[in-house]
Amino acid sequence: MIYDWQEASPSAVGLDENILQKGLQAINRDYPYVHSWLVARAGKLVWEKYFQAYTAEYLHEAQSVTKSIQSLLVGIAIDRQFIPSVDTPIRTYFADYTYLDWANGKDQITLRHLLTMTAGLEWNELKVPYNQVFSNDASLQIYSPDWLGYALMKPMESPPGTEFCYSSANPILISKILNEATQMSNEQFARRYLYNYLGINDLRYQKMRKNPRILADIDLSPRDMAKLGQLVLNNGKWADNQVVSTDWLAQSFAPHQFFASGEAYGLSWWLRHLPTEQAAGKSEFKIRYAWGIGGQHIFILPQYDMVVVFTGGNYEVTRPLEPYHILEKYILAAIVD
């Protein structure tokens, strides 16, 4: 099933609108950084709220939600045989970087390592604020004339596949890999094999000035973020098209890294327990989501046939808690069947 974008009340899909309204009041009262809140269930967009000056047409920065989108694109490229497998060494796609030293295990880095944040390259991103541009590698990379060279010149800190190190360089490296593998720009490939199927036409990428074929983060409307969530909820199918394979999605949501918070990380997708299941010690992660700094989220809850999207502007902290609180207190609580 796909979105029909027709008017549908929350009660028509088994949601208690009174509880959702309480969530709306809580946002207006307690969560000033939320910019949008959308809920889709049973293929219908049933709750769509915007705050401050934000509107449905506004292209909102998705930030690191882009990492999860890049993961979808890698899966599509493998499905369509542009890339042999997720275990392909990335060195294959950087032949033009002849000055690089691939020693000390760098030549062993694969796409899987980029997607699971285990490439092993030295990278300092989450330990210091992004506005500390002279010490945060993600900021230094963006100000560098060559984003790719900046990342690949980093020394190896650990063998590939052994240590989790969150890096915003990885999806940018993937952009180059997709360019080389498909002989299209990352944006051309994404539009042809992903966005066009979903009717996503209005988008904006941050591009490297030296090479506009290399992309960083994307700006999308919250509705189009919800479409991407719905595609995943539909097991990669949109209308009559299998846009991304179910096999790739299964790999994407298999946990590769586990954290003390109770969360896990797959192939550039975050995994989270339902609150009751975590308390009960359940091992299966029922919430799958894309996350971007500032409060950008696409939550996918297959057992409830639901997609939830938030955008926000809470850039003062790395992982703002507002979307999680609202999800638990006012969305999950609103489910009546």
Q: What is the pLDDT of residues 76-127, one digit of tens each?
A: 999 999 999 999 999 999 999 999 999 999 999 999 999 999 999 999 998 8
Average pLDDT, the chain: 93
Please give the Cα distance from 135 to 146 (Å, whole number). Answer: 18
Q: Of 30, 27, 23, which is closest to residue 51 (Cα–Cα)? A: 27
Q: Is 305 part of a structural domain of the chain?
A: yes
Q: Is 290 part of a structural domain of the chain?
A: yes
Q: Is 174 part of a structural domain of the chain?
A: yes
Q: What is the pLDDT of residue 320?
A: 78
**Do 41 and 124 share a structural domain?**
no
For residue 330, pLDDT over 50 is answered with yes
Q: What is the pLDDT of residue 135?
A: 87
For residue 241, pLDDT over 60 is answered with yes
Mean pLDDT (whole number) for 203-208: 95
Q: Provide the β-strand partners of residue 219.
A: 61, 204
Please give the Cα distance from 140 to 125 (Å, whole number). Answer: 10
Please give the Cα distance from 291 to 314 (Å, whole number). Answer: 13
Mean pLDDT (whole number) for 213-239: 97
**Do 101 and 138 share a structural domain?**
yes
Q: What is the pLDDT of residues 265-305, one digit of tens each?
A: 999 999 999 876 654 455 678 999 999 999 999 999 999 99
Q: Using a cut of 0.85, tell me whether the model's pTM lies above it.
A: yes
Q: What is the pLDDT of residue 2?
A: 47
**Do 95 and 53 share a structural domain?**
no
For 296, the domain range is: 10-58+221-334
Q: Of 195, 196, 236, 198, which is closest to residue 218 (Cα–Cα)? A: 195
Confidence of residue 133 (pLDDT cuts 50, 70, 90): confident
Please give the Cα distance from 322 to 312 (Å, whole number). Answer: 9
Mean pLDDT (whole number) for 196-209: 95
**Do 47 and 72 share a structural domain?**
no
Q: Provide the β-strand partners of residue 121.
A: 156
Mean pLDDT (whole number) for 316-336: 90
Confidence of residue 319 (pLDDT cuts 50, 70, 90): confident
**Do 257 and 166 share a structural domain?**
no
222-233 vs 65-79: helix axis angle to the nearest 10? 50
Boundary residue ending a domain (180, 204, 231): 180
- Asked whether 174 and 111 are in contact (CB, 8 A), the reply is yes
- Asked whether 231 and 238 are in contact (CB, 8 A), the reply is yes
Q: What is the pLDDT of residue 283?
A: 64
Q: Is 100 part of a structural domain of the chain?
A: yes
Cβ density class 103-133: b for 16+ within 10 Å, e for less: eebbebbbbbbbbbbbbbbebebbeeeeeee
Q: What is the pLDDT of residue 278?
A: 54
Q: Is 189 part of a structural domain of the chain?
A: no
CA 258 to centroid of chain Cα atoms: 18
Looking at the structure of the chain, the number of domains it has is 2
Q: Which spans in the chain are helix H?
A: 17-30, 65-79, 111-115, 137-143, 147-152, 169-182, 186-190, 196-198, 222-233, 246-252, 275-279, 322-326
Q: Which residues 6+ apart lie within 8 Å of 62 measured at CB?
A: 69, 217, 218, 219, 220, 225, 292, 296, 311
For residue 176, pLDDT over 70 is answered with yes
Backbone angles phi, psi at 154, to 5 degrees: -65, 140
Mean pLDDT (whole number) for 45-56: 96
Question: Residue 185 region, left (φ>0) first, then alpha (ψ -120 to 50), else beta?
Answer: beta
